[in-house]
Structure 1
Amino acid sequence: MPVEFIGYVSAREQTEIVGPFGPAVDPVYIESSALLHERGDFDRVLVAFHSNSPDSLLVAQHAASVTTRLGLLIAHRPGFASPTLAARQFATLDNLTNGRVAMHVITGGNDLELQADGDHLTKAERYARAAEYIRIVRREWESSTPFDHTDKFYRLHGANSAILPHKSGSIPIYFGGASEEAIAVTAEQADGYALWGEPLDEAAQLVHRVRTAAGKQGRTLRFSISFRPIIADTEKQAWERAADIEATLRARQEHEREKGGIALDRPGTRPTPETLPTNEGSRRLQAISSRGTRHDERLWTGVAQATGGRWNSTSLVGTPDQVAESLLRYYRLGIETFLIRGFDPIADTVLYGRELIPRVKALVAQEERCSASVA
């Protein structure tokens, strides 16, 4: 299986411990970040979506305009635009970029954050809407003649698009979530399943659940896992950097608390009972981090513990060789895509491209050669 790396491009420089720097939409930062990912041999970059963030499609379009090869995994929430309109928007960008687009459908993990955009559906309703939404999007991408659709959330008559994906068929769709509803939608609709970084045993169990569910639908999926690697010349230095990251984050949280500020999805903000995410993926991270901050030798959940598992927040800590070996263990579970982003976004992107990605690709190639020779 070919290994794939996904990075992260945001509208401005900001993480839990860095920034925010620059305007809310910083074209120069988007350009620099996209180019560094392409030069670092990343396959794609994720462009995130929140209820208060710049539009993900437009940020992705700008990143695409300065690159020639870099793929775009664009987060998209179903329900805020018509599925037929979204299908045309993604197909348009896919043609403008010669087929570099993928869609990451997200349903949201915090009811308050979703309500900021006027979404008051229950979790079960959001997943049912997402499944119907994806069906319509795919049908518009694949149909050469007008079609009608009538179901719980959408009623269409004569839906038709003059613009189809760059390549025949559908644009790749990724989905995530660890609840039964999320896995059901994934099994039926997705091309890729994205999970947050968990210990090997938990990740293996989740991969097995999703693979089994997809198999019952006669489908196979690509699996992606997300980490925030912390690497240094020595293991000791890497763990020291992890401790510094957590200390900086908690100091920022305390500063925000003293100011009385509450942000639903702003990095560096301490979660409250009202803003703590309730989605199953976050609950899993909350449970894992409650057992301690170190797992499987290299997995560190210090930031997940501090943020309540609000997003991709678990790290693999060590030297480049040690972290590459850890990623190989996840590859052996059948996970062939790694979404990696750093706490210092520019410096870490360069570091991953120079020190981590080549090592992982070499290990995977060696693994494949060994498997082929045994077979």
Structure 2
Amino acid sequence: MAIEFIGIAATQETSESGAGTPTASRDGISTQTEAGHAHGPVVQPGYLRDIARAHEESGFDRVLVAHSSASPDGFTVADQILTHTDRLGVLLAHRPGFVAPTLAARSFATLDAFHPGRIALHVITGGDDADQARDGDFTDKPTRYRRTDDFLDVVRKEWTSAEPFDHEGEFYRVQGGFSAVRPATPVPVYFGGASEDAVRVGGKHADVYAFWGEPLAGIAERIREVRAAAAPHGRDPRFSVSLRPVPAATEAEAWQRAAEILRLTKDRVSEARATFNLDHGQQRGSQRLLAYAAQGDVHDKRLWTAIAKTTGAAGNSTALVGSYEQVAESLLDYVALGVSTLLIRGFSPLADARDYGTLIDLVRAGTQRIADPVALEDPVVPA
């Protein structure tokens, strides 16, 4: 089974100590790390190159370029990453509704033309009304998902139509649409969201459906839901899980680091909430993570929910804590459920990107042993 590993890119350096100001983002606190402090300008070209190359050297397949109403332009950031690496791909987050779908499709196709096969689209419909409003969008979530559905219909036509096309949808009308630049191979579409509307639209369009790091039983439930939504459209999506590994040489050392991350996060989240009036209660994915966190700090073998509880489940906020071998074992448990993409990012972005090469090697070696689904209580991990 081929496993895809995705990290996360950043244009600004952060660390787990020092002084700084919280950075607003789609994750609520920082696209880099809840526990970290930002240093220097928001856009640091040298740092972006360093973190991209660190991911490539560690064996990652892609890095996510995240999106928020305050983020630097993602297309520019993606092009910089692709230009300064040799094989690393980019998963570029994009919110439908602010750029015409024909133009967005050509922008992705142009990146693909310069860097064939290395760009993918991550559809972020938008679960935070306040962040949408910062860019002038005051629609409600059900409307946004209907708009995303219409948007992706046009994007697919722009990517694939060899002849001019017309489109008459609820939100977009196109006459004689045509693109001179089209991807030689399909640009993969990743999709996230936990609401019924998200599953309905994602089931229709997603090549890869992305989940936050829930316990194994929750991920199994969500896979069944998405497959059921995708089946009427003749689609068979792959699945991604996003997690925050905290590995160390020993389990005890890993938990010591986790305790320090939690301490720093508690300090930082209070400052961020006061600055940005953060509230993720309307997001179904956050509600699910908080419900699990209320049941206990540790689920399955080592899924740690304390950061999710502290931040209000602001995005990808559940961690796996243990030795390298133990964390790899837990990642393989998700693979055994049918997950083929693992989005892993740490709390010290650059250092963790370099360190995660060990995890990637262990998981890829372990997947070679998985010919059929294994029992969750008895996963097979390389020594």
Taking structure 1 as the reference length, the TM-score comes to 0.92
Quote the residue 2:371 is aligned against: 368
Q: What is the CA-CA distance between 1:254 and the residue it aligns to?
A: 3.9
Aligned mates of 1:304, 1:92 — CA distance in 2: 37
Aligned partner of 1:358 among 349, 358, 361: 361
Counterpart amino acid of residue 219 in structure 2 = A
Aligned mates of 1:252, 1:133 — CA distance in 2: 37
In the alignment, structure 1 residue 344 sits paired with structure 2 residue 348: yes
Residue deviations 1:42-85 (CA, integer Å, cap 9, x gap) = 00110000001101111111111100100110000001000000
Residue deviations 1:219-270 (CA, integer Å, cap 9, x gap) = 101100000100011101111111110101112234556xxx4226xxxxxx
Quote the residue 1:268 is aligned against: none
- Contact 1:299-1:316 within 8 A present in 2 as well: yes
Quote the residue 2:3 is aligned against: 3
The percent of aligned pairs where both chains have the same amino acid is 49
Counterpart amino acid of residue 369 in structure 2 = Q
In the alignment, structure 1 residue 216 sits paired with structure 2 residue 229: no
Q: What is the CA-CA distance between 1:217 and the residue it aligns to?
A: 2.1
Q: What is the CA-CA distance between 1:370 and the residue it aligns to?
A: 9.8
Quote the residue 2:296 is aligned against: 292
- Contact 2:34-2:269 within 8 A present in 1 as well: no
The verdict on how the C-alpha distance between 1:301 and 1:77 changes in structure 2, with shifts beyond 3 A counting, is same
Q: What is the CA-CA distance between 1:187 and the residue it aligns to?
A: 1.1
Quote the residue 1:253 is aligned against: 269
Aligned length: 356
Quote the residue 1:149 is aligned against: 167
In the alignment, structure 1 residue 35 sits paired with structure 2 residue 53: yes
Residue deviations 1:195-237 (CA, integer Å, cap 9, x gap) = 0000011111011111122123221011000001000111011
Quote the residue 1:237 is aligned against: 253
Quote the residue 1:263 is aligned against: 276
Aligned mates of 2:233, 2:49 — CA distance in 1: 41
Taking structure 2 as the reference length, the TM-score comes to 0.90
Aligned mates of 1:43, 1:134 — CA distance in 2: 24
Quote the residue 1:121 is aligned against: 139
Aligned mates of 1:255, 1:50 — CA distance in 2: 19
In structure 1, list runs of 5 or more residues that go unmatched: 265-270
Quote the residue 1:101 is aligned against: 119
In the alignment, structure 1 residue 25 sits paired with structure 2 residue 29: no
The worse-fitting range, judged by mean Cα deviation, of 200-209 and 14-23 is 14-23
Quote the residue 1:176 is aligned against: 192
Q: What is the CA-CA distance between 1:156 and the residue it aligns to?
A: 1.1
Quote the residue 1:315 is aligned against: 319
- Contact 2:34-2:347 within 8 A present in 1 as well: yes
Aligned partner of 1:281 among 280, 285, 307: 285
Aligned mates of 1:367, 1:76 — CA distance in 2: 34
Please list, as runs of the form range in 1=range in 2, the aligned pairs for 1:180-195 lying within 5 A after superposition.
Answer: 180-195=196-211
Counterpart amino acid of residue 314 in structure 2 = R
Aligned partner of 1:44 among 55, 59, 62: 62
Counterpart amino acid of residue 360 in structure 2 = I
Quote the residue 1:66 is aligned against: 84
- Contact 2:7-2:344 within 8 A present in 1 as well: yes
- Contact 2:336-2:370 within 8 A present in 1 as well: no
SS of the counterpart of 1:367? coil
The 4+ residue runs of structure 1 with deviation greater than 2 A are 252-257, 368-371
The CA RMSD measured in Å over matched residues stands at 1.5
Q: What is the CA-CA distance between 1:334 and the residue it aligns to?
A: 0.3
- Contact 1:109-1:277 within 8 A present in 2 as well: no
Aligned mates of 1:322, 1:74 — CA distance in 2: 31
- Contact 1:150-1:156 within 8 A present in 2 as well: yes
Residue deviations 1:73-120 (CA, integer Å, cap 9, x gap) = 000000100000000000000111122000000011210111000111
- Contact 1:6-1:42 within 8 A present in 2 as well: yes
In structure 2, list runs of 5 or more residues that go unmatched: 15-32, 375-383
Quote the residue 1:159 is aligned against: 177
Counterpart amino acid of residue 170 in structure 2 = K
- Contact 2:337-2:373 within 8 A present in 1 as well: no
Aligned mates of 1:19, 1:208 — CA distance in 2: 39
In the alignment, structure 1 residue 87 sits paired with structure 2 residue 105: yes
Aligned mates of 1:281, 1:118 — CA distance in 2: 24
SS of the counterpart of 2:369? helix
